[in-house]
Structure 1
Amino acid sequence: MHVADTIDDLMGFFDAEPGTAYDWAGVFSVAPSDPAPVVRERLVEDEVHREVDYARWGLRPAWAKDSGPRPINARLETVASSGMFRSAFSSQRCLVPMTGYYEWETTPSGKQPHYIHADGPLAAAGLYAARKDEATGEWTLTYTVITREARDASGEVHDRMPVFVQPDLWGDWLSPAKIDDRETMTARLADSSAEVAKTMRAHRVDRKVNSTQKVDPADPTLVLPIA
């Protein structure tokens, strides 16, 4: 995942306040378990506040065991009913800002990364969980990205894509109110993401992006096309 926008960009694009991600400067590679900005709404003294907060990629609900799975993706087809995600789908929804994302093609010489993007910022549907650290007393956020069958340029490389959300659905998706009609919201997400998918395109990038351990997340050449 690639989130090049700074906190000022994100605040302006999402009409949000700076939360814990007040110092976000943008990176060109976000890997699972990395902290990254998410946009969420929450009630504070009966007022709804939209904030940009840090969260780690890999959902870890408060009820989950330490050794349990930390899914980075949730399938749109089952997210509203799955035991892992249905509670968050009901009342802990977020947007995951990204400028683009990576998918990999298997070739005889190894995995070839492709960068999939649009002309401007993107907002993927996500779910978040808040968990209190018993040792420090601090709250941490984790998140997962909702995916669907590919309808964008990634379909040539991978069969899934993030569920991207158009601005006219942001308010209803981010609202801290519980969702009563889950089927309708799922259908709205499917329609919205299909429209965004029409604007997406892909190109091959350098294989150095494959090594999350060694790659420099601040390296802008990660997203440049190669022959």
Structure 2
Amino acid sequence: MCGRTSLFATLEELEARLDATHAAPGTYDPRYNIAPQEPMEVVTGADPGTVERQHWGLLPEWADGPGDGLINARAETVAEKPAFRESWTERPCLVPSSGFYEWQATPHGKEPHRVHRPDDLMLLGGIWREWTGDDRTLRSVTILTTEPNDLMAELHDRMPVLLRPGEEATWLHGGPEARAALCRPYPDDDLEAYRIGTAVNDPSNDHPGIVERDTTEQSGLGEFV
């Protein structure tokens, strides 16, 4: 699962990494704690030269409102589910991330961890669609998930689809079969995971301190690297 993410690269770094220009640069601010049903930056296959903002939570045509958005889609069944199958076939997108968060269940409660690539942004595989309701039109996105790698298996039984460098064009412009081949666990040795403080639990907390390591005494659990 991927239920919380971040994007705090500078606008210049983001545009350079995606080889795209932000459609509304004045709306871009570094975010350390992006929650479901909030706006997030994406690049779509329909307009790969533009970074746009979409609502996190894909809204099927029968949704009553933005709060009904579906934030994740299982890669194994995305082609079959009525809410996702048209978008899977026709509307792929990339979701850039400076790192996502996962909560590990422990005897002492759930402990949040940050998962990231130490040397670069991550690009998550997503799909999107346009929803119309309440006299407005909203573009919305969901992030695909797949089986976890060994690193992520310590935290959760799912992980987001992460694209390896150079796979962006295949995701955006290849067909469903080509994208399906990319929906596999990302290599462990390219990621780092570490425990962070519980401030991330509250989506209203959005500051650099969110990503700081929790250096308090471990509750019998090691750091995952």
The normalised TM-score by structure 2 is 0.84
Structure 2 counterpart of 1:98:
97
Question: How far did 1:34 drift?
Answer: 0.9
Which whole-Å deviations, capped at 9, do the CAs of 1:162-184 have from their partners, x for residues lacking one? 10112322112223x7x3xx344
**Map of 1:24 onto structure 2:** 28
In the alignment, is the contact (CA less than 8 A) between 1:22 and 1:52 conserved in 2?
no
- CA gap of 1:72–1:49, structure 2 versus 1, over 3 A, is closer
Tell me the residue number matched to 2:128: 128
Residue 189 (str. 1) matches residue 183 (str. 2): yes
Shift of residue 98, structure 1, vs aligned partner: 0.3
1:226 partnered with 2:214: yes
Partner of 1:45: none
CA 1:113–1:94 in structure 2 vs 1: closer, same or farther (change >3 Å)? same
1:216 pairs, out of 205, 214, 217, with: 205
- Deviation digits for residues 40-79 of structure 1 (CA, Å, limit 9, x no counterpart): 132xxxxx55211111111003x22316942111111111
Whether the 8 Å contact between 1:35 and 1:56 is mirrored in structure 2 is yes
TM-score (norm 1): 0.83
Q: Percent of aligned positions with the same letter in both sequences?
A: 31
Would the aligned equivalents of 1:152 and 1:161 in 2 still touch at CA under 8 Å? Answer: no
Partner of 1:36: 40
Aligned length: 209
Aligned 8 A contact 2:117 2:190 in 1: yes
Letter in 1 for 2:130: A
Match of 1:151 among 142, 149, 152: 149
1:38 and 1:152 mapped to 2: Cα distance?
A: 28
1:152 CA drift (Å):
5.1
Distance (whole Å) between structure 2 residues aligned to residue 183 and residue 210 of structure 1: 37
Residues 20/132 of structure 1: CA separation in 2 closer, same or farther (3 Å cut): farther
Alpha-carbon distance in structure 2 between the residues aligned to 1:169 and 1:148? 16
In the alignment, the residues of structure 1 paired with residue 81 and residue 194 of structure 2 have an alpha-carbon distance, to the nearest angstrom, of 34
Contact 1:21–1:54, Cα closer than 8 Å, also in 2: no
Q: Is the contact between residue 36 and residue 56 of structure 1 (CA under 8 Å) also seen in structure 2? A: yes
Q: Distance in 2 between matches of 1:51 and 1:155?
A: 34
Output aligned runs, 1:171-190, within 5 Å. 171-175=169-173, 179=175, 182-190=176-184
Please tell me the root mean square deviation across aligned C-alpha atoms, in Å.
2.1
CA contact (8 A) 2:170 2:178 kept: no
The Cα of 1:225 is off from its aligned counterpart by 0.6
Which residue does the alignment assign to 1:199? 190
Structure 2 residue aligned with 1:4, among 4, 8, 11?
A: 8
Matching residue of 2:78:
79
CA deviation vs aligned residue, 1:118-147 (integer Å, no higher than 9, x gap): 111000000111124552x5x321111001
Q: Give the unaligned 5+ runs of structure 2.
A: 216-225
Distance 1:121 1:159 in 2: 23
